[in-house]
Structure 1
Amino acid sequence: MKIIDTPSNNPGDVNKRKHELQGSLGVFKLLASHLSKESELDERTLKILEMLI
């Protein structure tokens, strides 16, 4: 018998994962804004950060 670990479709679990993802995006946005203010970034680095956001 195989046990397949799949994410739950329980609305509480879905909302929790959504909240965790939004938190991660917030960290990336803060990092990107801090870096762009504090130092000179080349265009390539900025594009990579924007893709992460």
Structure 2
Amino acid sequence: MAKPNYSYEKRQKELAKQRKKQEKLQRKVHKHDEPQAGEAEQSSATQPASGAAPTQNPAS
């Protein structure tokens, strides 16, 4: 009868745990990169678009 390869099973378990940890970290990073829909609308409304209106020169 063949002996079970416990080291292989342990390595596979460690790799699965590592993959899961990486995926969780990636989700966390992407969550902070993408602003919420409400935040994006508010920030675009408060900030003027660049070059939308020429600035007036006070020396004129």
TM-score range, shorter chain: 0.5 to 0.7
Question: Number of residue pairs matched?
Answer: 34
Q: TM-score, normalised by structure 2?
A: 0.49
Please report how far the alpha carbon of residue 40 of structure 1 lies from its aligned counterpart in structure 2 after TM superposition. 3.5
Is the alpha carbon distance of 1:41 and 1:32 closer, same or farther for their aligned partners in structure 2, counting shifts above 3 Å?
farther
Bigger relative CO (Cα 8 Å, ≥ 6 apart): 1
Q: Looking at CA atoms only, which structure, 1 or 2, has the larger radius of gyration?
A: 2
| Runs of 5+ consecutive residues of structure 2 not aligned to the other structure | 38-60
Q: What is the distance in 2 between the residues matched to 1:32 and 1:24?
A: 12
Give the equivalent residue in structure 2 for 1:13.
Answer: 8
Runs of 4+ in 1 over 4 A off after TM superposition: none
Q: Compare the two structures and name the one with the higher helix fraction.
A: 1
| Runs of 5+ consecutive residues of structure 1 not aligned to the other structure | 1-8, 43-53
Q: 1:27 aligns with which of 14, 19, 22?
A: 22
What CA RMSD, in Å, does the superposition of the two structures yield over aligned residues? 1.9
Q: What is the distance in 1 between the residues matched to 2:15 and 2:33?
A: 27
